[in-house]
Amino acid sequence: MFVQTNEHLNMKSDQVISPRVFFSSGHLNGEDVVYESKRLSELAGLFADRAAAEEMDGNLPVYEVYSWVPVPQGTEGGLFFGLTNLHPGLVGSEYFMTKGHFHAIENRGEYYWCIQGEGILLLMDKQRETRAERMFPGTLHYIPGYTAHRVVNTGSRTLRFGACWPSDAGYNYDPIAADGFSVRVRKVGKVPVLG
Amino acid sequence: MFVQTNEHLNMKSDQVISPRVFFSSGHLNGEDVVYESKRLSELAGLFADRAAAEEMDGNLPVYEVYSWVPVPQGTEGGLFFGLTNLHPGLVGSEYFMTKGHFHAIENRGEYYWCIQGEGILLLMDKQRETRAERMFPGTLHYIPGYTAHRVVNTGSRTLRFGACWPSDAGYNYDPIAADGFSVRVRKVGKVPVLG
């Protein structure tokens, strides 16, 4: 039995506990939360203009992910919950983006929802057909199974999005590491252009 | 290929489409969204004080659920996304609450996160041991497998919460319909008390 007086709610029961994790617009906060920062030096190979990447500070954070992992990786039937902050920036003319991946168990889906900023979600099937969905605050995106997913920040602010995915989905980064996505998103003049 | 000019982002690509579903604080909006309203007449049996329930207007909405169902119910590896508005109210001294359920595939988990209002999430295992977590804006709750879940609105505003769960989880309402939860939440004086 958990004992805690809940003064905030003026609640007197000894059976009511605080939640373990809090969700703000920018981060998850709690004891089971895992934080991961992805810096440009780890991601330079994603971008077409390697020379431009190498001239930049490799310590520059490109994105940060907070994940709540309440069950072990690989648990069937469980779920993970994430919050990603993808910073604005360019490598040459190409916008900052996430690595992108398929799931290791290929039929596993995922949700993304945009909290702040603007961007593009790239969705690529196994035949490398790619489609794209605009992200802005309030957009909700279903990523079906068998579909690689990458987020591109096309705005001037940090793009923040939530995510929920099965705890046995796993990650398959290899096809993306080898061949990338079939579409890149570049700034041409003032606008993002896919090609 | 999808053709749409994205004037909002000044985006010229013909490959970028609008998302299908939008998430606001109060509802999901989109073509694949299912809306369900639960009225008091359907829920009267949940409450201890049946006589009090029968004196009230059966058409009173207790809660409304918006769900995005992008894949068929029962799809392995897929996910559903929901938004629930649980209104404030009492039946006798007992707060308005959701029906509550186990999942039909029992090991399936779920996330809830509170957007507005205040309440209590009841989590009951198969041995009818119940624990409770406070809900208020920003709280994030992991509902493990084998665990019935019910939300109680202990505040004066509509309690809004998001949810994400596996599309093959299904619902098992029977144990709750037969025996309820082992804990009820009542207003005693001005505060919620579990018992």
**Mean pLDDT in residue range B45-59:** 96
**Mean pLDDT in residue range A188-194:** 92
Contacts of A135 in chain B (CB under 8 A): 19
Q: Do the domain assignments include residue B179?
A: yes
Q: With CA atoms as reference, report the closest residue to A61 among A34, A91, A41, A33.
A: A41
Only one residue has tokens 């440009």, namely: A40
- Amino acid B53: pLDDT: 96
Minimal C-alpha gap between A1 and chain B (Å): 8
ipTM of the complex model: 0.92
Closest by Cβ to A142, choosing from B18, B70, B113? B70
Closest by Cβ to B183, choosing from A12, A15, A111? A15
Q: Do the domain assignments include residue A175?
A: yes
Minimal C-alpha gap between A45 and chain B (Å): 25
| Tokens at A190, concatenated | 């003032």
For residue range B115-148, list pLDDT tens digits in order: 999 999 999 999 999 999 999 999 999 999 999 9
Q: Do the domain assignments include residue A12?
A: no
Contacts of B13 in chain A (CB under 8 A): 132, 192-194
pLDDT band at A13 (very low <50, low <70, confident <90, very high): low
Total number of domains constituting chain B: 1
Interchain CB distance below 8 Å, A142 and B17: no
* Straight-line distance from the first to the last Cα atom of chain B, in angstroms, rounded to the nearest whole number: 58
Q: Do the domain assignments include residue B8?
A: no
Q: Do the domain assignments include residue A15?
A: no
Contacts of B79 in chain A (CB under 8 A): 109-111, 142, 164-166
Q: Are A67 and A28 in contact (CB under 8 A)?
A: yes
For residue range A51-110, list pLDDT tens digits in order: 999 999 999 999 999 999 999 999 999 999 999 999 999 999 999 999 999 999 999 999
**How far is Cα B109 from Cα A117, in angstroms, rounded to an integer?**
30
| Tokens at B99, concatenated | 């029906």
For residue range B3-37, list pLDDT tens digits in order: 334 444 445 566 678 788 888 878 999 888 999 99
Query: DSSP readout, chain A?
Result: -----BGGGTB--SSEE--SEEE-SS-EEETTEEEEEEEHHHHGGGSS-HHHHHHS-TT-EEEEEEEE--S-TT-TT-EEEEEEEE---EETTEEPB---BB-SSTT--EEEEEEES-EEEEEE-TT--EEEEEE-TTEEEEE-TT-EEEEEE-SSS-EEEEEEEETT---B-HHHHHH--S--EEEETTEEEE-
- Amino acid A6: pLDDT: 46
**How far is Cα B188 from Cα B181, in angstroms, rounded to an integer?**
19
Q: Do the domain assignments include residue A48?
A: yes
Give yes or no for residue A25 having a pLDDT over 70: yes
**How far is Cα B60 from Cα A195, in angstroms, rounded to an integer?**
53
pLDDT band at A12 (very low <50, low <70, confident <90, very high): low
Report the share of chain B in percent with pLDDT over 70.
92
Which structural domain, as residue segments, surrounds residue B71?
Answer: 22-194
CATH number at residue A35: 2.60.120.10
**Mean pLDDT in residue range B97-117:** 97
Give yes or no for residue A8 having a pLDDT over 80: no
pLDDT higher for A166 or A23? A166
**How far is Cα B137 from Cα B92, in angstroms, rounded to an integer?**
27
Q: Which residues are bridge partners to B120 per DSSP?
A: B134, B152
Give the phi and the psi of residue A44 in degrees, each rounded to 5. Answer: -55, -35
pLDDT higher for A8 or B90? B90
**Mean pLDDT in residue range B94-110:** 98
Contacts of B5 in chain A (CB under 8 A): none
Q: Do the domain assignments include residue B97?
A: yes
Q: Do the domain assignments include residue B177?
A: yes
- Amino acid B23: pLDDT: 85
| Tokens at A188, concatenated | 């041409």
Closest by Cβ to B18, choosing from A70, A113, A134? A134
- Amino acid A23: pLDDT: 85
